[in-house]
Amino acid sequence: MNRPLSERDRELIWHPYTQMKAWPEAIGITKGKGLFLEDEDGNQYMDLIASWWVNLHGHSHPYIAKKISEQAASLEHCIFAGFTHEPAVRLAERLLPILPGRMAKIFYSDNGSTAVEVALKMAVQYYQNRGTPRRKIIALEGAYHGDTVGAMSVSERSLFTRQFDHWLFDVQFIPFPEQALTTLNILEQALQAGDVAALIVEPLVQGSAGMRMYPPKVLSNMIQLCHSYGTLVIADEVMTGFGRTGKHFACDAIKDTGPDLICLSKGLTGGTMPMGITACTLEIFDAFLSDDATKTLYHGHSFTANPLACAAALASLDLLLEPACQHSIDNICLLHAQQLLRWQDHPAIRHIRQCGTILALELNTGAETDYLNKDRDFIYKFFLSHKLLLRPLGNIIYLIPPYCISSEQLQQAYEIIELFLNQLNIRYHGPSFQQYTVPDN
């Protein structure tokens, strides 16, 4: 008999975001179906985080699989400089009309980090090409935009970047808009100081920072302020795109303005193939048109616009735009909102928040909210033992489920979380601590 996957893996593989000393064993997954991942012992886990926020329609969706397979039989890949193909053109034709802002061009790359790198390069070179160079980038405190060097530079200096801080380019970080006026004032001061090429934000929800949320009004104020100083705005919709906030894109929540560049990945292919997109306005694109070779955007990847990834994205878009999918998204939003009301006074919860299909619970573990919270592993293992995949960010747990989840499945997940909350309450406050009763409604 074959040795277990986890054992063979341990000998050869180094996993992402994993301290391999503490976590030498990975769970061997043999199958994905809908909401579930199945391991080699037959255990089925509800994938409530959509496998790092990528999976939109459930695992191994037959329609997406069919479209990838058909594409593989006709054109699996082709160089994208000087050549093009139907799936890439079709995807641009379908995406551009539904993107927020005045997006006119699509630039393909491979993942969320590269989508961000491309946006940063476009913004900086845009000003250079116009003969009015600007060098500064502004980002929000707590930001996370990826793990490549440029993407790390515009991310909060943190545990993730510490070893490389001396390498990263300078970025001005402004406060996360908890106090909107403070953030806007500091942003305006930074813009007044001049030389600012771009502000980059995760619109409405900062993912890795712990699903921290801010209202659309602040987003629109920040964008308007930047535009009044001729500064570009990059919306990193890598996590928030494709229905996660309840609308197609987080920036759809604002009406009067829009970003100049949008980064997409994760849900773009329904979570089936790696791909990134940077969309930009015509004004940005036009600034690169020249007889001068130095004004070219010298950026590209071997797998740019891979036809299989484009086919997956087109299939995922077909599914997303079906009324049934919007109905499921609305249903998740509604159930989350009801659950938030039920839990808001639970003593084991320090803060609970929701944006569309994302529900986040900051747990009261007696220690500070932190990525390295001492109870993180206990929380993770508890849920795994109950067959829920909920990968906490420190003491913050969140649900960002695939849209195929049924009301009953979501309810089941809430019940297990409730069980955990009650245990946590007893663990930290003893059984005599305020008894929590679930409201009737």
CB of 233 to ligand PMP, least distance (A): 15
**224-253 positions binding ligand PMP, by CB under 6 A:** 236, 238-239
Q: How far is the CB of 208 from ligand PMP (least distance, A)?
A: 6
Least distance (Å) between residue 189 CB and ligand PMP:
26
Among 207, 216, 246, 392, binds ligand PMP (CB under 6 A): 207
202 counts as binding ligand PMP under rule CB under 6 A = yes
How far is it, in rounded angstroms, from Cα 240 to Cα 249?
A: 6
- 262: tokens are 């949008």
Contact residues for 313 (Cβ-Cβ < 8 A; gap 6+): 91, 95, 268, 269, 270, 273, 275
41/346 Cα distance (integer angstroms): 36
17 is catalytic: yes
Work out how close the CB of 54 gets to ligand PMP at its nearest, in angstroms, rounded to a whole number: 8
DSSP class per residue in 61-104: -HHHHHHHHHHHHH-S----SS---HHHHHHHHHHGGGSSSSEE
Please indicate whether residue 236 is annotated as part of the active site.
yes
Residue entry with tokens 């803060």 = 351
CB of 111 to ligand PMP, least distance (A): 4
Over the Cα atoms of the chain, what is R_g?
22
Place of tokens 């996360």: 176
CA distance 346 to 196: 44
- Pick the binder of ligand PMP from 116, 235, 273, 312 (CB under 6 A): 116
- Residue with CB nearest ligand PMP? 112
Q: Does 265 bind ligand PMP (CB under 6 A)?
A: yes
Both tokens of 50, joined, read 């959509």
Please state the length of the chain: 441
Cβ atoms < 10 Å from Cβ of 196: 23
Q: Which stretch binds ligand PMP (CB under 6 A): 59-67, 89-97, 111-119, 181-189?
A: 111-119
Q: How many CB atoms lie within 10 A of CB 314?
A: 22
266 a catalytic residue: yes
Residue 144 or residue 176: which is nearer to ligand PMP going by CB?
144
Rounded to a whole number of angstroms, the minimum distance from the CB of residue 273 to ligand PMP is 12
* Pick 32 or 276: Cβ nearer ligand PMP: 276
CA distance 351 to 313: 35
Site pattern 129..158 for ligand PMP (x: CB under 6 A): ---------------xxx------------
Instruction: Determine the size of the site formed for ligand PMP (CB under 6 A).
Output: 14
Q: Is 31 one of the annotated active-site residues of the chain?
A: no
| Residues engaged in binding ligand PMP (CB under 6 A) | 111-113, 116, 144-146, 202, 207-208, 236, 238-239, 265
Active site residues: 17, 144, 236, 266
